[in-house]
Structure 1
Amino acid sequence: MRTTQTQYRSSGLFAALGAFLASSASALAAGLGQPEPWQMDRQIQVTENGRDIHAFEVGLHWLSFGISVFVLGLLVYCIYRFNEKANPKPSKTTHNTMIEVAWTIVPVLILVAVAIPSFRLLRTQLSDPKADVLVKVTGHAWYWSYEYPAVENGGGFTFDANLDEEKAPKLLNVDNEMVVPVNKIVKLQVTAADVMHSWAMPAFGFKIDAIPGRLNQFWFNADREGVYHGQCSELCGTRHAYMPITVRVVSDAAYAQWLVEGKTKFARIDDGAKFADSRR
């Protein structure tokens, strides 16, 4: 009888644990690629560079917290140790060489410790790896357009992405999504046709300015399939808040099929004429 009760308890425990893990997984999937109510942390990062930025940011928060606690402790100690009641006769000390050296060297060491991973991140972001996919992004007032060069199995077309107010999440969906393959290096060439915009994708860990007359370049490698939402991050006019970005990351087979369908669905462009750089 005891064995049976133990088995029931064990099975109940495992069932509860399984339900918790399933609910956690569904909640994680629901929050993938979009903001959540009362969210304090970054979105789930699906690029290696985004995860490195998140880890660096967490380290900076803990460093700032430690410094704040240390300074608070010094203030409390000074208030207690050097108040008028504890020191009726004031000290005439004018300086302390060791303390002055310490408060010069320690901040320098902290800044060097922060600079090393910071420069490493910048080097990764500004590197120019060989791209598998090249997309030209143009910001307009107030929508985005995307151009895909012609490749062996499709491409050679352009399309506009406007806000779709009927889709959820509200104000974050577009009528035509940007589609890229998973685990591939995607290089973006970003510009603007009228005023300054900014192409921002929180789940990828970056944003890049779209400036008229200038072609900025960036890259990313999304390692998880899904739909990811971003927005223009440069105040660009009356409908700035209605200029979302939607990127769908799909398998290689689905991406190849989408390229073929895009040749008939979207407007064609001159083969590569509008691209300032090849995929190298």
Structure 2
Amino acid sequence: MAHPLQLGFQDAASPIMEEFIHFHDHTLMIVFLISSLVLYIIMAMVSTKLTNKYILDSQEIEIIWTVLPAVILILIALPSLRILYLMDEINDPHLTIKAIGHQWYWSYEYSDYEDLGFDSYMIPTNDLSPGQFRLLEADNRMVVPVESPARILITAEDVLHSWTVPSLGVKMDAVPGRLNQTAFITSRPGVYYGQCSEICGANHSFMPIVVEALPMKYFEDWTSLMLEDA
């Protein structure tokens, strides 16, 4: 598991996040090549007398600087559109969870189970155990099975919130009166942290999101335990 405070992307824990990282590297390489070319042209114009600084017309250069940017934009747009369509695909989810944003905590309802729901509050700093992360730990984690498509229905009770887990590549606004949906598949067991990404009031930074991915056997044990306690 990546440290949640590290610089750069967290380690990908879902196929969509892997696609995001690949697209980021692809686009960054294009930006690097363009920057290198522009820097080379500037240095050549300044440092050598072999270039004509007062050229007024060049059909070939105009064609190049018109066609080349169009090709570069296509190289960026095609993989970007592919990822957008992949994000919208929600085919036969194995689990549906409703996440509701409140000021300032989250509540979760497991639609496939009767009476399985709970609130998730941030653990105060004074109550943290050794090794737990400040402002990121919650008393009740949202538990999902590994390698199973999970659909998340997201809404809010009061103001705008945003349900965001970076390592899963998930970010969706929680809007009062509207039900948004997204989906993800966890690639491996682990605990994945996120926070509300919408400025929702005084305690905006105190409503963390904790997703715990468990193998199916342990997930079923967890649901049985939760239903017994309900």
Regarding TM over 0.5, the answer is: yes
Are the equivalent residues in 2 in contact too, given 1:43–1:203 (CA < 8 A)? Answer: yes
Query: Post-superposition shift, 1:264?
Result: 3.1
Give the secondary structure class of the aligned counterpart of 2:159. Answer: coil
Unaligned runs of 5+ in 1: 1-31, 267-280
Q: Distance in 1 between matches of 2:20 and 2:207?
A: 25
Residue 212 of structure 2 corresponds to residue 248 of structure 1: yes
Q: Distance in 2 between matches of 1:237 and 1:163?
A: 16
Residue equivalent to 2:179: 215
Are the equivalent residues in 2 in contact too, given 1:34–1:228 (CA < 8 A)? Answer: no
Are the equivalent residues in 2 in contact too, given 1:52–1:121 (CA < 8 A)? Answer: yes
Aligned residues: 225
Counterpart among 29, 40, 49 of residue 73 in structure 1: 40
Deviations along 1:25-62, one digit per CA (max 9) or x if unpaired, are xxxxxxx15414xx332111111111111011011111
Counterpart among 81, 87, 101 of residue 119 in structure 1: 81
Are the equivalent residues in 1 in contact too, given 2:104–2:207 (CA < 8 A)? Answer: yes
Q: Distance in 1 between matches of 2:112 and 2:14?
A: 26
Counterpart among 31, 49, 55 of residue 22 in structure 2: 55
Query: Post-superposition shift, 1:128?
Result: 1.8
Deviations along 1:49-102, one digit per CA (max 9) or x if unpaired, are 11111011011111111110110000111112359xx98xx74x3221110111
Q: Distance in 2 between matches of 1:130 and 1:252?
A: 17
Distance 1:158 1:244, change over 3 A: same
Residue equivalent to 2:157: 193
Are the equivalent residues in 1 in contact too, given 2:96–2:112 (CA < 8 A)? Answer: no
Distance 1:150 1:59, change over 3 A: closer
Give the secondary structure class of the aligned counterpart of 1:172. Answer: coil
Q: Distance in 1 between matches of 2:134 and 2:142?
A: 18
- Matched-pair identity in %: 35
TM-score by length of 1: 0.77
What code does the residue aligned with 2:117 have? T
Residue 104 of structure 2 corresponds to residue 137 of structure 1: no
Give the secondary structure class of the aligned counterpart of 2:18. Answer: helix
CA root-mean-square deviation: 1.7
Give the secondary structure class of the aligned counterpart of 1:176. Answer: coil
Residue equivalent to 1:64: 31
Q: Distance in 1 between matches of 2:213 and 2:2?
A: 11
Query: Post-superposition shift, 1:150?
Result: 3.9
Are the equivalent residues in 2 in contact too, given 1:33–1:226 (CA < 8 A)? Answer: no
Largest Rg, 1 or 2: 1
Q: Distance in 2 between matches of 1:123 and 1:253?
A: 32
Are the equivalent residues in 2 in contact too, given 1:197–1:211 (CA < 8 A)? Answer: yes
Residue equivalent to 2:222: 258
Q: Distance in 2 between matches of 1:104 and 1:265?
A: 66
Q: Distance in 1 between matches of 2:45 and 2:170?
A: 44
Residue equivalent to 2:200: 236
Counterpart among 105, 113, 117 of residue 67 in structure 2: 105
Residue equivalent to 1:8: none
Q: Distance in 1 between matches of 2:2 and 2:204?
A: 20
What code does the residue aligned with 1:76 have? M
Give the secondary structure class of the aligned counterpart of 1:187. Answer: strand
Residue 4 of structure 2 corresponds to residue 35 of structure 1: yes
Deviating more after overlay: 106-115 vs 165-174:
165-174
Query: Post-superposition shift, 1:156?
Result: 3.0
Are the equivalent residues in 2 in contact too, given 1:197–1:234 (CA < 8 A)? Answer: yes
Q: Distance in 1 between matches of 2:45 and 2:7?
A: 35
What code does the residue aligned with 1:58 have? D
Deviations along 1:162-209, one digit per CA (max 9) or x if unpaired, are 001223111100011100000100000000001101011011012111
The correspondence of residues 85-104 of structure 1 with structure 2, limited to 5 A, is: 91=54, 93-104=55-66
Counterpart among 181, 191, 195 of residue 145 in structure 2: 181
